[in-house]
Amino acid sequence: MKTKLRHWKHLLVCLTAILPLFCPISLPANPIVQVSFTPETIKQGDVLLITVKTGPEIHGISGTLFDKTIHFYRNPGQDAYTALAGIDLNTDPKRYNLSLSLEDKSSGIIKKDVEIQVVSAHFRTQQLTLPKEKVDLDEETLKRVNLEKEEIDKIWDISTAGPLWDGNFIKPVEGVIDDNFGFRRVINGEPRSPHTGIDIDAPEGTPVYAANQGRVVFTGDQFFSGKGLVIDHGLGLLTMYFHLSEILVTAGEDVRKGQVIARVGKTGRATGPHLHWGIRLNGARVNPASMLGLSLE
């Protein structure tokens, strides 16, 4: 009897040793997931930095917000992922759902929903009454404007896989910022398009720097924006530079952060020399000033 008992104990020890080789260890069904936002108070027009901290069992994250894909990238040397999301200036102030899909090492998918609250940015509005001939475009000019809009609108769909930027974004020109992002004009009782960038006042010819590393995807001279260029920074993030007096780069050229890419001017519909600096993030029109406050190191 004792011999049989020793035999079964020996067999049990052997099975315990070899079972892990044939039976995969299941990962936790609900890993610890910490989601944080910068800024904590999210306004219309903000660039939202989303950080997801989790365990080593997670090796990929994707997400959706406003029915658009949010592209996450892993922070080097950390069990954390980061994404940038654009809160368009016309986003209704209310609660929205950020849906996350976390993939573990066994290709299992874990779902997590996080609610965000968007609040009003309280954009300024100006009422103007002007002579009709100062407001309405003639037929030929209107045709040009529509063609130029079609051309530039194609740029906003660009979404290069992976970030091209290098660290934090910088102010593209030395000058005084007029924080007129989202500024709305009502002319002769008709609402006009909101101002989708910020203006930086500087003397004509002042150097304009690339706000970050990327690739030039557009250069041109358009009726409203004058001489301008657009840089792709990856993952649907693009910066634009308008009313330039001179463009010093070409489409398709890779540029580094801080490189002189143009000079301040007053081309297009401009009353004086300044840089119109704008940002599109996955198509959303966002305030460039909110990008300057984010830590992407």
Domains of the chain: 34-119 (2.60.40.1930), 125-292 (2.70.70.10)
Longest Cα–Cα distance in the chain: 110
Tokens encoding 161:
């896989």
Residue 262 confidence (pLDDT): 98
State percent of the chain over pLDDT 90.
67
3-state secondary structure of 49: strand
3-state secondary structure of 5: helix
Which residues is 274 bridged to in the sheet? 201, 265
- Res. 124: pLDDT tops 70: yes
First to last CA, the chain: 69
Question: Dihedrals φ, ψ of 146, to 5°?
Answer: -65, -40
- Res. 26: pLDDT tops 60: no
pLDDT, tens digit, 9 for 90 and up, residues 128-151: 777 776 678 889 999 999 999 999
Residue 271 confidence (pLDDT): 86
- Res. 14: pLDDT tops 70: no
Residue 135 confidence (pLDDT): 75
Strands 109-119 and 226-232: unpaired
Tokens encoding 135:
């407001």
Tokens encoding 261:
């890419």
Tokens encoding 225:
């924006």
- Is 137:101 a contact under the CB 8 Å cutoff? no
pLDDT-derived band at 189 (thresholds 50, 70, 90) equals confident
pLDDT-derived band at 8 (thresholds 50, 70, 90) equals very low
pTM of structure: 0.86
Closest alpha carbon to 102 in 68, 59, 142: 59
Place of tokens 């989708």: 196
Q: For residue 68, give Cα distances in angstroms to 86, 109, 265.
A: 10, 19, 36
